[in-house]
Structures are given as C-alpha cells and as structure tokens.
Structure 1
Amino acid sequence: MRAYVFEPREKRQTSLALELENAGIEPLFVDEDFFESGLPPLTQPGNEVRAILIGESDNTHAQIRTVRKAGCANPVIVLRDFRNSQDTSAALDRGADDVIVSPIKGSEVVSRINSIIRRFHGHAAESVEVGELIAFFDGRDPIVSGARIRLSKREHSIFQHLALNSNKVISKNAIYDAVYGMSADQPFDKVIDVYICKLRKKIAAAASSGAQYIETVHGRGYKLSAPDEFDLPAPKPQTPHSLHGAEVRA
C-alpha cells in the first residue's frame, strides 16, 4: 500500500514514516507544490487507491478542497495533533474521508484506508466471494476452496486491485499504475503478465475445480470472476445397462 504524505514539520516525518512503514504503507512525503502540480496523475484509473495523508497546518482545509476540486477520488485522511470537533467537522465537510488524532498508529491508518477504498468500489464487507474464492480487503491472503493461498507482496497488490474490481474488466495499465506508479524503479509493463500468470497457477492449484479465475479480455485487460465451470453440467444421456447381470430391455 502506498500513500502521499504531507507533513510540514520535518521533525515528525521520521517517526511518522517508521510507523507507517511498519504497518505496510510506503509513504512518499510531498510538499506544498504537490497540491498545485502533483494531483492530475491521481485522476487516472488505478491511482484512486492511493491515500493522501494531510498533516495539520494552516492550509489543511484549502488543501482538501484543492484535492477534491481536481477530481481526485483518493482516500483523504487528516492527521491532527489534538481532538477538535469543530475543525474535524469542517475537514469532513470540505471533502476529507476521515480524521485521525495523535498518537498516529500505522495499523489504524491501514484499516481506515482499506475501509474507504472498499466502500468506494462498492464493497461494504471486509471481503468478497467469487465462486470458490474469498478475497479480503484487509491485507489477508485469499482463501480458495477452504485453503489459504500465500501470495507475495507484489502478487497481493495486483490481486487486491482485481478483487476490488471483481466482475469488471481492468486494463493492464490501470493495474500497473496502481502497483508501480509511485515507484522510482519501475519495471516493464510485461511484469503484470508474469504476475497474472503466477496468480492463475496458484488459484487453479488450490481450487477444487482447477478452474481459472482471472480472464484475459483481449485488447481490454483482465477480469476476476467466477468461471463458467461452476455451471452444473447437463445430465448425461441414459444408456442401456445391466441389472443383476441381466440387460434391461424396453
């Protein structure tokens, strides 16, 4: 999970970065210019899952308005030093999704981000069932036919994006941007095909049906959905058979 973090006080950046990293968040610290020139990429498909964490300052409310005016649907969470119901109400009214008061705990930030993201994609529960597969939105590995399958960090990032958009076609570019868009060391986009292949093999190996769950929609992208194999097969035609060794005749 990646997040843009605006924390104007440098002395607090180190401790905040450590707390977020220990919870599995990769923080990218930004300055005021981010709200002027860094928002357009976030309006592209796949980038809406990146949270924006805004530390307390005199410009907090203006920054929230700028993010929403730019058309960004990203989770926006304000990090406050002290509880202030009036300021919290104002931040929420201007477009913030949540407000967290110090001490900031990375695990709480992760849970709140996940909650916002899954609701944005239309999922009220913590998981979604697709055929024999259960995908979780809280960081847990998926369960297939009752057994948990272990995914690498990168596999999990790609799978989570597919699960959030289950039964929808997602372009490879959108998946790539969601997983690698903020990385300084971006691989070739073919790496998505490689990870999709790995995910297919792991899911098929665990599924009692051995079916594929990730469909390639040529020219458009990928879709996570229950395969047609779950349709019950048509009854086999009856053939003459023996009963106690004697052939049954009409």
Structure 2
Amino acid sequence: MRAYVFEPREKRRASLAAELENVGLKPLFVGEEFFDTGLAPLTQPGCEHRAILIGESVNTHKQIRTIRASGCENPLIVLRDFRNSTDTAAALDRGADDVIVSPIKGSEVFSRINSIIRRSHGHASESIVVGEVTAFFDGRDPLVSGARIKLSKREHSIFQHLALNSNKVISKNAIYDAVYGMSADQPFDKVIDVYICKLRKKIAAAAESGAQYIETIHGRGYKLSAPEDYELPSVETITPQLSLQARA
C-alpha cells in the first residue's frame, strides 16, 4: 500500500518511514508544493486507495481544505504530537478521516487506513464472503472452502482490490495503477494478466467447486464474484459447523 507523507520536520522522517515500511506501507515524502501541484493524479481511477498522511504544522487545516477542494477523496490522516480535542474536531470537520497522536505506530496507521478504505467501499466488517471465498481487509490471506491460500505481495494487492470491489467490473488499468502507480520500475503491460491467472489457479485448486471466481469481462476488465450456479450452504450445514467452532 502506498502513501504520500507530508512531515515538515526532517528529523522525524527516518523513524516515521521505518514504522510505515515495517508494516508494508510505502511512503513517498512530499513538500509544500504537493498541495499545489501533486493532487491531480490522486483523482484518477485506481489511485483512490493511496493514503495521505499530514504531519502537524501551522498549515494543517489549510492543507486539508486544499485536498478536499481538489476532489481528492483519498484516506486522509493527520499525525499530531499531542492530544487537542478542539484541533482534532476542526481537522475532522474540514475533511480529515482520522487523527493519530504520537507515538506513531505503523500497525495503527495501516489498520486505520484499511478501515477507511473498506468503509468507503461499503464494507463495515474486516472481511467479506464471496461464495466459497472469504476475503480479509486486514492483511490476512483469503480462505477458500475453509482453507487458507498463500498469496504473494503482488497477488494479495490485486486480490484485495478485486475484493473491495466484489461483483463489480474493474479495469486492468485501474488495477495496474492501484498496484504499481507510484513504482519507479513499472513492469510490462501483461503483468496483471499473469497475476490474475495465478490467482485463478490458486482459488480453483482450493475451491470445492473448482471455480476460478475471477471473471474476465472482455473489453472492460475483471470481476470477483461467485459462480452463477453457486448455492449458499443450507442452515443444516452451517449449524453443526458453528457448534463445533463454539466448542473449540
């Protein structure tokens, strides 16, 4: 997951970068000019998941207004040094999604970004179920027919983007931008097709139905959805399983 980070105090950047990178976040530190010239790309499809983290400064509220006025709806979190209920309320009222107070921990930042993203897609819980597939939004690999399947970092990024938009068609360009948009070494054009193929094979191998779950919509993109002939488990099937889980 990628994040733009404005931290005006140079001495704090190294420790903040270490915290973010330790949980899989890829920070790109920006300066004041970012709020004047760098916001336009974030309004493009595929870029809506890139978080913006703003370190505390005298311009914090102005920066929040500028971000939201540009049409940018990305997760926006303010990083504060001390608790200040009045200032926190003002930041939230101006468009910030959240405020985190020092000490800043990467795991907390990561979880709060994930929470903002999944709620923006209409998912209140930490996971969704699509047929035999259970997709998690907290970094865990998915379950297929009750078994965990191991995904690489790239596979996981692509799968999560599809899961967040389950039952919707997502273009290859949107997936590509979400996964590689800020990378300096962008790969060849067919890379998304390759990863989609790998994901299908892993899901089909684990699914009792043998279904691949990721459908190609020619000329439009991909869609994660249950097969049309998939039937939900009956109450009789679910109840014994729940009883066994409760005993465990």
TM-score (norm 1): 0.91
The code of the aligned residue for 1:40 comes to A
The code of the aligned residue for 1:166 comes to S
Q: CA deviation at 1:229?
A: 3.6
The code of the aligned residue for 2:37 comes to S
**Aligned residue in 2 for 1:245:** none
Report the Cα distance in structure 2 between the residues aligned to 1:64 and 1:4, rounded to whole angstroms: 13
1:88 aligns with 2:69: no
Q: CA deviation at 1:55?
A: 0.2
Report the Cα distance in structure 2 between the residues aligned to 1:188 and 1:92, rounded to whole angstroms: 41
Structure 1, residues 215-241: CA drift from partner, whole Å, max 9, x if none? 000010000000124159xxxxxxxxx
User: Secondary structure at 2:99's aligned position in 1?
Assistant: strand
**Aligned residue in 2 for 1:236:** none
Q: Is the 8 A contact 1:3 1:28 kept in 2?
A: yes
Gaps of 5+ in 1: 233-250
Q: CA deviation at 1:32?
A: 0.7
Report the Cα distance in structure 1 between the residues aligned to 2:188 and 2:38, rounded to whole angstroms: 23
Report the Cα distance in structure 2 between the residues aligned to 1:55 and 1:110, rounded to whole angstroms: 16
RMSD: 0.9
The code of the aligned residue for 1:179 comes to V
Q: After superposing the two structures, state which structure 1 stretch, 40-49 or 100-109, moved more.
A: 40-49
Q: Is the 8 A contact 1:211 1:229 kept in 2?
A: no
User: Secondary structure at 1:230's aligned position in 2?
Assistant: coil
Report the Cα distance in structure 1 between the residues aligned to 2:75 and 2:231, rounded to whole angstroms: 38
**Aligned residue in 1 for 2:219:** 219
**Aligned residue in 2 for 1:61:** 61
**Aligned residue in 2 for 1:115:** 115
Report the Cα distance in structure 2 between the residues aligned to 1:51 and 1:200, rounded to whole angstroms: 29
Structure 1, residues 59-90: CA drift from partner, whole Å, max 9, x if none? 10111111101111100000000001110001
User: Secondary structure at 2:14's aligned position in 1?
Assistant: helix
User: Secondary structure at 1:228's aligned position in 2?
Assistant: coil
**Aligned residue in 2 for 1:194:** 194
Structure 1, residues 77-112: CA drift from partner, whole Å, max 9, x if none? 000000011100010000000000000000000110
Gaps of 5+ in 2: 233-248
**Aligned residue in 2 for 1:27:** 27
Report the Cα distance in structure 2 between the residues aligned to 1:41 and 1:189, rounded to whole angstroms: 20
**Aligned residue in 1 for 2:184:** 184
In the TM superposition, what are the counterparts of 1:99-110 in structure 2 within 5 Å?
99-110=99-110
State the structure with more CA Rg.
1
Q: Which runs of 4+ in 1 moved over 4 A?
A: none
Report the Cα distance in structure 1 between the residues aligned to 2:69 and 2:186, rounded to whole angstroms: 29
**Aligned residue in 1 for 2:134:** 134
